[in-house]
Chains A and B, each alone.
Chain A
Amino acid sequence: MSSRIRSYAAPLARARGLGSAKEGVEHWWLQRLTALALVVLTLWFVWVVVRLSGASHEAALIFVARPLNTVLLILTSVVSFWHAALGLQVVYEDYIGHEGARLAAIIVTKFAAVGLITATVIAVLRIAFGVV
C-alpha cells in the first residue's frame, strides 16, 4: 500500500494497524499459523490412530507415555481446539445474524475449547507421569 493512501490514518492508528473493527489480522494469522502446525500434527495423529487401532489399553498407555508422543499429543490437542474455535467463530459470524446469539455462541465455543484443552492435557500428563 502506498504511503499516500496510508496517510489517512493518524500516526498512532497507523502504528496499531487496526481499522474500525478494532481488530487486526490476529484471527486470520492465527488460523493460518495453527493450520500450518496442524499439517504436521494431524498427519502424525492419523498415524497414531492407525497404529493404536488394534492396540490394548496397556499398549496405548505405554505409547502415549513416551516423551515425544506425550509432547506431540498435547500439541495436537491445544492447536486443534484453538484452530477449531477460530474456524467455528467465522461460521457463527457468517450465519448468526442476532448479535447476542452470535456472541453467546462464540463465548460458549471458546469456554468449551479451553475446558477440553485442559481436560485432555491433564489426562495425557497423568498417563505420562504414570498416575493412571
Chain B
Amino acid sequence: MATHNTSSPPIAGANRPLSPHLQIYRWHLSMVISVLHRATGIALAGGLLLFTWWILALASGPEAYGSLRGFLNSPLGLLLLLGWTWSLFLHLANGIRHLVWDTGAALDLPSVKTGGVIVIAASILLTAAAWAAAFVL
C-alpha cells in the first residue's frame, strides 16, 4: 500500500509559479465577451432581487407598488433598469452562442469573431428596441 500524506502536501506554501491570469493577456473581443458573460450573469442574479421586489410589491398592494415604481423612475432606478436590460440581452445572445458551441458548431476562429460582433450588436440593438417600445407604449 502506497504511503499517503494526509496532512498538508510538502509543496503547499512553497513559492511556486502561477499560471498567467487576466492582466497578462492583450484584450480581444472573445475575452471581453467571456468576462462580460460572467459579469452580466452575476448582475442578473442581483436583478432577480429586483424581480422579487416587483412581484412582492404587486401582491402587497398599491402603496408598495407605488414606492417600487417611484424607485424605478428615479435616476438610479432607470440606470439599474438600463443595466438590467443590456445585461440580459448580452447574456441571452451570448448564451445562445454557447448553446450553438455546445453542438460543436461555429467553433472555428472566423465564426467565433463574427459571433462575437453579432452578440455585441444584438445586445445593443435589442436594448434600444426594448426602451424605444417602453417609451412608445
Contact of A84 among B44, B59, B98, B133 (CB under 8 A): B44
B85/A46 in contact, CB under 8 A: yes
Given the interface pairs A80-B51, A84-B44, A87-B45, the reply to whether A54 lies near B65 with Cβ below 8 Å is no
A96 within 8 A of partner (CB): no
Q: In whole angstroms, how far apart are the Cα atoms of A73 and B130 in the complex? A: 19
Q: What is the predominant secondary structure among interface residues of chain B facing chain A?
A: helix
What is the 8 Å Cβ interface bit string for chain A, positions 20-63, against chain B (1 contact, 0 not)?
A: 00000000000010011011001100100111011001101100
A116/B52 in contact, CB under 8 A: yes
Q: Which residues on B sit within 8 Å (CB–CB) of A38?
A: 92, 95
Find the B residue at minimum CB distance from A127.
B59
B88/A46 in contact, CB under 8 A: yes
B10 within 8 A of partner (CB): no
Q: Would you give the shortest CB distance from A98 to chain B, in whole angstroms?
A: 14
A35/B58 in contact, CB under 8 A: no
A88 within 8 A of partner (CB): yes
A123/B88 in contact, CB under 8 A: no
B102/A123 in contact, CB under 8 A: no
Residues in B46-99 with C-beta less than 8 Å from chain A: 48-49, 51-52, 55-56, 58-62, 65-66, 85, 88-89, 92, 95-96, 98-99
A116/B58 in contact, CB under 8 A: no
B55/A77 in contact, CB under 8 A: yes
Q: In whole angstroms, how far apart are the Cα atoms of A36 and B52 in the complex? A: 22
Contact of A35 among B60, B66, B95, B130 (CB under 8 A): B95
A-side interface residues toward B, CB under 8 Å? 32, 35-36, 38-39, 42-43, 46, 49-51, 53-54, 57-58, 60-61, 64, 73, 77, 80-81, 84, 87-88, 91, 116, 119-120, 123-124, 126-127, 132
B-side interface residues toward A, CB under 8 Å? 38, 41-42, 44-45, 48-49, 51-52, 55-56, 58-62, 65-66, 85, 88-89, 92, 95-96, 98-99, 102, 130, 133-134, 137
